[in-house]
Amino acid sequence: MTTSFRIPLYIINQKFSTKQKGEKAKNSFLKLMACTKMTFTFNFTSRSSQCRSSKRRASIFSFFNANSLRLSSHHSHGALVFNNVLDTRVSRSNSKDKNKKGGEYCWGLDNEKPTILVTEKLGEAGLVVLRELGHVECAYGLSPQELCSKILDCDALIVRSGTKVTREVFEASKGRLKVVGRAGVGIDNVDLHAATEFGCIVVNAPTSNTVAAAELAIAHLAAMARNVAKADASMKAGKWQRNKYVGVSMVGKTVAVMGFGKVGTEVARRAKALGMNVIAHDPYASSDRASGIGVNLVSFEEAISSADFISLHMPLIPSTDKILNSSTFAKMKKGVRIINVARGGVMDEDDMVRALDDGIVSQAALDVFTEEPPPKDSKLVQHENVTLTPHLGASTKEAQEGVAIEIAEAVVGALKGQLSATALNAPAVPPQVVSELAPYVVLAEKLGRVAVQLVSGGGSGIKAVKVVYRSGRSRDDLDTRLVRAMIIKGIIEPISNSVINLVNADFTAKGKGIHISEERVGVESSPEQPLDSIQLQILNMGSKFASAVSEGGHISIEGKVKYGTPHLTCVGSLDVDVSLEGNLILYRQVDQPGMIGRVGSILGKHNVNVSFMSLGRTSRRKMAIVAIGVDEEPNKEALHDIGAVPAIQEFVFLKL
């Protein structure tokens, strides 16, 4: 017989805190085993500083293994947390098969570490952060074919701007790639749509190189205004041409900052300090934030037509692709000077050459190009009025180290299952929301798994799902995105090869034609508790368990979190109280004496261990619904014998 004991955390921390207490603990465990002749499943969460070293962890695990103690994940949280060294989601499917489609790839103390591939130069400080979690492989200059070949064995990928992360890369990973980290801001070299489809989180490092990029823009602006590059080349050629390189003053000139995000804002601050008149265009920027630093937000046309200098700081998206072209150049003030340290594709390079030749643009300073590196024979590169740098936007020692640490921490967090503030294809759920919804996330996935197994025909054909949240909070104070994603995960994963997470949940549901609707019902409960219950309805589908069909004709189940554990509280119109753990046998019977013993005998005959039982009934000696938790999956013969009991009118076996 296998018995599961849940041992309080403080006992574990005390028992392994010193050698003396460790010996006492060991003797106590062995004595208990000798007396009971049982095998123990040891469930624990440890944050004690006493267990942080790998040597200490190894000694604890050696003790467990030597004495037939088996470790399992913490039953309430679906996660194994060991002194903050690991904080990973543990698959609730078969965790032994790490690459199994439909399950989560997970890491625990007895699993191999994740593999992180770095394809471009990353600061040593960032590599140190990565090595604390997993195996790091640095492979620079990979061809697309080489990258696709390597990615199959990788859980995370870190790139800069030189590596193209295409759909082919995600397809080659076969679902193993969980996170792509872009060491920098722009992500036009990463196929976000494909990443989302494959459930891969894409994170970037948007803050650490902000100042570096802004400083380069200002450096280009000043160098261009005073002809620094040309004068330098002239002197190195042995010339002294003071009159040829007369510049223009920046004071009083108007600079248009095109894109008023983090970098654009820092450029504006510095330009103001130089005595320039600063205007900006950004359809998403706040006028209050702009006016707070003395910047006027204007339309695109006004910005390009009135500026003496134009500094580009916009992302490369469909609406900005080649936004500077022959048409827009024609609207600019003659003699305008243009700086681009953002993305090369926002400017039509051929049209820029013509604008330079025509004198519309007197000078340009460029750090980025449509193709990097640009062709050596490019007319733009060879133009005498163009100053060039080889994509140095983030190339300062401080920025390199900051970006390396920022992207490494974001990737590590994503691998641990934490939601990153810099995730580009996942909703930004605040940490406090994630924390308070943690037990409801487990409940949501369990309800999804139960509901889909109640559908006739194996669960295929589901087109409409309704989720009802009962809560004491107002609609604006209830963020349900994470819960909804886990409901979708619970419904879809058991019946498909899809791996569902917060990134691709809505995308996958839409792709399978499943419409998810949500409703909040106000109840009198403490607002400190985000949810009182979650009701899940599968609309317009038949059920293999007729009792699960509500009066409205839909499959309906409801659940709550009790003492941190997910519970099933209603099936159809029948009340139950079932802990959603392990496997579940659910059946409807005539309420009569001896039924519990009879079913228990059948399970015992087939060596199936009962972990718990719950019974709910409409009234005395009428109908009852019974839920029995079992540690093992009953074989076909056991299920047949249960179904053959005359008083049992219907039953279903549910894998949770």
pTM, rounded to two decimals: 0.57
pLDDT score, position 23: 52
Domain annotation covers residue 143? yes
Note whether 296 and 331 are same-domain residues. yes
**Which residue did the predictor score with more confidence, 111 or 100?**
111
**Domain termination site, one of 364, 380, 415:** 415
Domain annotation covers residue 96? no
Domain annotation covers residue 173? yes
Q: How far is the C-alpha of 554 from the C-alpha of 313, rounded, in Å?
A: 52
Give the 3-state secondary structure of 322-352.
Answer: CCECHHHHCCCCCCEEEEECCCHHHECHHHH
Query: Structure tokens of 63?
Result: 């003790």
CATH code for position 539? 3.30.1330.90
Q: Using the predicted structure, report yes or no on whether residue 62 has a pLDDT greater than 60.
A: no
Note whether 575 and 443 are same-domain residues. yes
Residue 135: active-site member: no
Domain annotation covers residue 611? yes
Domain annotation covers residue 455? yes
Note whether 444 and 466 are same-domain residues. yes
Other CB atoms closer than 10 Å to residue 396's CB: what's the count?
17
How many structural domains is the chain composed of?
4
Note whether 457 and 560 are same-domain residues. yes
Note whether 200 and 320 are same-domain residues. no
- Which residue out of 132, 146, 372, 519 is catalytically annotated? 372
CATH code for position 257? 3.40.50.720
Sign of CA dihedral 103, 108, 112, 114: positive
The amino acid at 206:
P
pLDDT score, position 33: 44
Q: Distance between the two ends of the chain, CA-based, in angstroms?
A: 22
Domain annotation covers residue 404? yes
Domain annotation covers residue 420? no
Q: Residues 91-99: contacts with CB within 8 Å, 24+ apart?
A: 92/445, 92/656, 93/493, 99/174, 99/176
In 160-260, the DSSP E strands lie at: 179-182, 201-204, 254-258
pLDDT score, position 52: 39
Note whether 203 and 229 are same-domain residues. no
Note whether 85 and 222 are same-domain residues. no
Note whether 134 and 274 are same-domain residues. no
Name the residue range of residue 176's domain: 115-208+399-415
- Which residue out of 270, 337, 391, 554 is catalytically annotated? 391
Residue found by looking up tokens 């950004």 in the block: 282
CB 481, CB 427: distance < 8 Å: yes
Q: How far is the C-alpha of 140 from the C-alpha of 147, rounded, in Å?
A: 10
Residue 343: active-site member: yes
**Which residue did the predictor score with more confidence, 440 or 94?**
440
Assign 555 to helix, strand or coil: strand
Q: Using the predicted structure, report yes or no on whether residue 47 has a pLDDT greater than 70.
A: no
Note whether 255 and 119 are same-domain residues. no
- pLDDT tens by residue, 332-360: 999 999 999 999 999 999 999 999 999 99
Note whether 253 and 320 are same-domain residues. yes
Note whether 28 and 164 are same-domain residues. no
Note whether 271 and 355 are same-domain residues. yes
Domain annotation covers residue 424? no
Residue 419 pLDDT grade (very low, low, confident, very high; cuts 50, 70, 90): low
- Which residue out of 343, 449, 473, 484 is catalytically annotated? 343
**Which residue did the predictor score with more confidence, 635 or 474?**
635
